[in-house]
Amino acid sequence: MQADPFVATLKEWTEVSMRHSMRNIIRYARESGLSMTNIGAMFHIHHIGSCGVTDLGDHLGVTSAAASQMLERLVQQELILRTEDPDDRRVKQIALTDKGHRILEEGVHARQGWMDDLAQSLSDSEKETITVGLNILIDKISHLAPPIEARS
């Protein structure tokens, strides 16, 4: 069976754009002295506000001990704060510092930097056409099932 040309093009666009984005975020992480696991942990903390060591370990698929060791390095780099949970002093809460938020913001800009170059290579007419199509896709995807992590 021949693939739907639209789906094939959409898959190709996703692959190419993800390759550019991942290359840039990996380069940024390396230049910042961080691993992709560090970046992933920081994004998780950013998205949920704060979390515990066990929650973070579960999200990353590592043991609490491994998560705790990684977090200690991020504490030493002043990217996160580890504080006692006010409801249970045995539990540690983890949150990003201002420096941690800044690193993530710079990472997002690094990941998306190639888009500026792409935009400069397009004519105004091409930009208008693409904007219409992307807005349709944004609207349609918002009606699909939520991502797996948001379903729980």
At 3 the pLDDT is 78
At 148 the pLDDT is 63
Number of separate domains in the chain? 1
Owning domain of residue 103: 5-150
Instruction: Please give the average pLDDT of every successive group of 10 residues along the chain, which has 152 residues.
Output: 86 96 94 92 91 89 92 94 80 90 94 94 98 95 76 49
* Phi-psi sector, 49: left (phi>0), alpha (psi -120 to 50), beta: left
Eight-class DSSP state of 61: T
At 88 the pLDDT is 75
At 52 the pLDDT is 86
Q: Look at strands 80-85 and 51-52 and give their pairing.
A: unpaired
At 81 the pLDDT is 93
CATH number at residue 49: 1.10.10.10
Sign of CA dihedral 73, 42, 150, 12: negative
